[in-house]
Chain A
Amino acid sequence: MENKVVTQTITNATVISNNSNTSKRLKQFKKSGPLYVLLLPSIILLICFTYLPMYGLIIAFKDYSPTLGILESPWVGLKHFIQFFNSYQFDLTIKNTLNISLYSILVGFPLPIALAILCNQLRIGMFKKVFQVTTYLPHFISTMVMCGMILIFLSPSNGLISNFLGLIGIEMPNVLSKASFFSSIYVWSDVWQHIGWDSIIYLAALSAINPTYYEAATMDGASKMQKILHIDIPLLLPTAMILLILRAGSLLSVGFEKVLLLQNPLNIAGSEVISTYVYKIGLQNFQYSLSTAIGLFNTVVNIVILLLVNWMSKKLTKTSLF
């Protein structure tokens, strides 16, 4: 902001009158004309399908009725928010959402970093390539197929895992029908599917490290493990911090599709999260306003957490998104 003021005063000083400054801006604007044409398709689509729905958020504060439309529906203030906060679903969905989300940050965040460091240690070129291709592979499986695979493998009667456990004489419980297992199933299958892909960005950061660091460390007689601890990890931290901030910004938005697909009436106590609840209230029970209010609550909390973590990170580590 301050910068802008400074440059403006400079231009004002060099250009003789304010008048010709505006005409210069007009000229600049005109010159950008063809560029605006190129932007047009995406701007129109964004306005229609992203910004218009934002305006539609006001139905969270109204009793929306399809016959009256958004504008005519009566205002009701915070009624729907209060209804959500007081419902017995509130504690349940918040608890499950935070549980799954924090669990997956705790497990799913450090593991790709570890994998990248591991991969970086592989010196046989061909092996490294095969290793990478293999670990990225599951990322391209669709959520639907992934959930199908989870159901097949975890089937208590004839699934792969129960057969395997049967070999060593352990009977497999029906984990899919137990609420307490849900978060583990969710998080670890996610790790299996995305760990390789999530590590790419750290591999890029590792490959950017100046080799003289390693040379110097070798001269000092550092072991490989020491090089990882004192060179790799410290230099990966800024990248990790940025990704952690982004991750924190979607704390309340867990991978909704996967939760919905793995949910069943028996595990619902551990699997109902805010987003699945929004879906059910809205599109299955047609309580449009309530559903929108819950969704809005979700977004606001996410943004607040994002800003908070970003601010904290800026203070503590000098790394921040904005």
Chain B
Amino acid sequence: MKKKFAKKSRTEKSWKDRIFDISVYGIAILMMVMIIYPLWFIVIASFSNPADIANGNVWFWPKEWKLDGYIELLKQEMIWRGYLNTIIYTIVGTFIALVVNIPAGYVLSRQDLFGRKLISTFYIIPMFIGGGLIPTYLVVKNFGLLDTFWVLVLPFSVSAFNIIIAKTFFKNSIPESLWEAAQIDGCGTIRYFLTMVLPLSKAILAVIGLWTAVGIWNSWFDAMIYISNESLQPLQLILRRILIANESLLGTASGDLASELRRLSEMMKYAAIVVSTLPIMCLYPFLQKYFNQGVMVGSIKE
């Protein structure tokens, strides 16, 4: 008798749960559509006639395929230069960031570091206080770094956040006994770090490397402040001229030609978004596990 009663209440409950499940999946699907659709729209718009877009004729598929936006965009010499610059900045900047942050994270994870508390504080203070825009600008200027390649890859490569993540990683995954064993074998600290710790730390190298790379690829503000030489400008600054400043890259003209140019520059906007975002979007699904890993490592206390 009692058993029957329990069974009945459970099916009742499961009805509630079923409605709950349906709404959970419903909301999830709705969210995915809301995120994917704008991105999809940018892609199809880049292949469409701007007039069709303006009239609201393009929703899920281009009405007629047009490549004009891409052709015109890739004719622009500065797009190529920006691309090349960004690739170089990203590679060099990521390398420097790893060289700077990974050893610091490792050292701070060592319990036997003399003055550990003081040194940690030294790294944490900049997370909360800084000189701000102008004093930093003046320092960069005084070092003679204004308008040089190095200003985008060197001065701000130290990241307390990345150091803390690296430190947590080393603390949790490199056993202290390994260092003791290495010491007995007569291995010095630096050689131990280079030949034993680093090969065991590919995950954290990947995480911090990728984060930094994405950050540099996407950054523009430092370049806007410190770089005025056109040949050093990264892609994002050139995107600014196309997307935000609405600057026509096609010269000035009047009459029919002008409206044609307006049409082209409208198409170029969509093409520019696709071209500049594509590398990261293509890499992302393959690298996702590293990105997540980083957040997970960092979220473990301290």
Contacts and interface: CB of A to CB of B under 8 A. Distances in A.
Contacts of B60: none
Given A32-B114, A38-B106, A38-B107, A134 B35 contact: yes
A37 interface: yes
Contact of B107 (A39, A46, A131): A39
A240 interface: no
Interface of A is mostly: helix
Interface in B31-88: 31-32, 34-36, 38-39, 41-42, 50, 53-56
A192 interface: yes
A153 to B, nearest CB: 7
Interface stretch (A8-16, A179-187, A221-229): A221-229
Interface residues of A, number: 92
Contacts of A296: 132
Contact of B56 (A70, A163, A279): A163
A140 B112 contact: no
A249 interface: yes
Given A42-B163, A135-B31, A221-B10, A149 B38 contact: yes
Contact of B24 (A121, A140, A221): A121
A141 B50 CA distance: 23
A126 to B, nearest CB: 13
Contact of A148 (B24, B54, B143, B239): B239
Interface stretch (B199-207, B212-220, B249-257): B212-220
Contacts of A149: 38, 42, 273
Contacts of B27: 118
Nearest to A163: B56
Contact of A283 (B101, B133, B236): B133
B291 A204 contact: no
Interface of B: 9-10, 13, 16-17, 20-21, 24-25, 27-28, 31-32, 34-36, 38-39, 41-42, 50, 53-56, 99-101, 103-104, 106-107, 110, 112-115, 119, 122-123, 126, 128-140, 143, 154-158, 163, 188-190, 193, 214, 217-221, 225, 236, 239-240, 242-244, 269-270, 272-273, 276-277, 280-281, 284-285, 288, 291-292, 295-296, 299
Closest CB pairs A-B (n = 7): A53-B131, A56-B135, A148-B243, A295-B132, A142-B218, A158-B54, A163-B56
